[in-house]
Amino acid sequence: MKKHAVFGAALGAVVGAMLAATAGATTAQAADREIVIGYQAPLSGDRSQYGEMFRNAAQIKLEEFNASGKLAGAKVAITFEDSKDDPKEARNIAHKFLDNSKIVGVIGDFSSTVSMAAGEIYAAEKMPQLSQTASHPDFTKLSPWQFRNITTQAFEGPYNADWIIAAGKKTAAVIYIQNDWGISALDGFVSGFKAKGGKITATEAFNPGNRDFRSILTKVARQKPDVIYLAMFYEEGAAFAQQREQLGIKIPLYGTSSLYSPKLIELGRESVEGLHLATTFTPDNPDPAVQTFVKEYAARFKSEPGMFAAQAYDAVGIMLDAVAKAGPSVTRESLRDALAATTGYPGVTGATSFDPVTREPAKALAKMMVKDGRFQVVTGP
């Protein structure tokens, strides 16, 4: 009998916990108009460093916005939820945000898989979603409710290809990370490079988490391409550059904007000297908007903001400006329309406009190279 009671109690406790969890989600409405933006990001787990940057940048932008008085008669708040970079959690969060009638728009998630898992729900339930980083080609095709503030590799690849060709280099080997983003980076660059008359000598994939590139390097170097194009993140990029130096290979490196981080130089030291990349954001940019952001971020969080923090800062800015445009009586529908009408938003990642049909962002990229242990803007080819 005692064991029955224990079982019954366990069952009761679990059901109770489920009900309590919902009760938390449906708290009473405040009398004043409070507009809430949901922000889902990996705040714990493997990718938490990105979520942390997003949250930091979002807080700065939100305070600036509320202090600016752009939106009279309402106050905007951001609710953060931790998705752990897990599609299962992202679906739960999507429904949690949908249940909250104060939430008119959502920013996030970080990776494309997780953004799309939640995106399927936002598309079906009509909630505007703006991801600062999801670059999957299908993301904005889910529905008219999806937006992103990152130029995809379909834009960046041909841009870099033009740059390399203009520098008089005709053959390239591509090393890419084996995930959705890596494949789109490969496709974007290869098609752009071939269209300009360049020749691809090799394309080599590696699995996420791999840190040993010696066999790939040896194989690729044998064909003597003019450049090696890296489609990867800074951790792998630094390891790649170091192993290239150890093997004595002198072929110049070009890379995707994802390599752009102070950590690349910190980890790769002299080996990353001469690496070229084009990026939307550089903390050295003399633009006052960029300098205000960089100073504020460094003062608060004791680190220089990278591209990811800047993307989030602008994503929040675009979302908040759309809220201001839609006015204090903003709804999910009117916010979507206001977002779709975004033209020339003056952000720190370049002026951003959304294409009215595809909802893809267009931005101007800055050409950079690593010189004397720091990223410097390159003028000319």
Residues engaged in binding other proteins (CB under 8 A): 3-4, 7, 10-11, 14-15, 17-26, 43-45, 80-82, 84-89, 91-92, 94-96, 98-99, 111, 113-114, 116-117, 119-120, 125, 136, 138, 142, 178-183, 205, 207
Which of 96, 117, 112 lies closest to 36, judged by CA? 96
Give whichever of 7 and 212 is closer to other proteins, judged by the CB atom: 7
CB of 3 to other proteins, least distance (A): 5
CB of 325 to other proteins, least distance (A): 28
Give whichever of 162 and 187 is closer to other proteins, judged by the CB atom: 187
Give whichever of 26 and 329 is closer to other proteins, judged by the CB atom: 26
Give whichever of 46 and 287 is closer to other proteins, judged by the CB atom: 46
Q: What are phi and psi of 20, to 5 degrees?
A: -60, -40
CB of 335 to other proteins, least distance (A): 19
Give whichever of 212 and 266 is closer to other proteins, judged by the CB atom: 212
331, 104 in Cβ contact below 8 A? yes
CB of 24 to other proteins, least distance (A): 6
CB of 379 to other proteins, least distance (A): 37
CB of 5 to other proteins, least distance (A): 11
Give whichever of 51 and 255 is closer to other proteins, judged by the CB atom: 51
Give whichever of 86 and 156 is closer to other proteins, judged by the CB atom: 86
Secondary structure of the chain in HEC code, one letter for each residue = CHHHHHHHHHHHHHHHHHHHHHHHHCCCCCCCCEEEEEEEECCCCCCHHHHHHHHHHHHHHHHHHHHHCCCCCCEEEEEEEECCCCHHHHHHHHHHHHHCCCEEEEECCCCHHHHHHHHHHHHHHCCCEEECCCCCCCHHHCCCCEEECCCCHHHHHHHHHHHHHHCCCCEEEEEEECCHHHHHHHHHHHHHHHHCCCEEEEEEEECCCCCCCHHHHHHHHHCCCCEEEEECCHHHHHHHHHHHHHCCCCCCEEECHHHCCHHHHHHHHHHHCCCEEEECCCCCCCCHHHHHHHHHHHHHHCCCCCHHHHHHHHHHHHHHHHHHHHCCCCCHHHHHHHHHCCCCEEECCEEEEECCCCCCEECCCEEEEEECCEEEECCCC
CB of 15 to other proteins, least distance (A): 6
Give whichever of 207 and 379 is closer to other proteins, judged by the CB atom: 207
CB of 248 to other proteins, least distance (A): 31
Structure tokens at 170: 């005709």
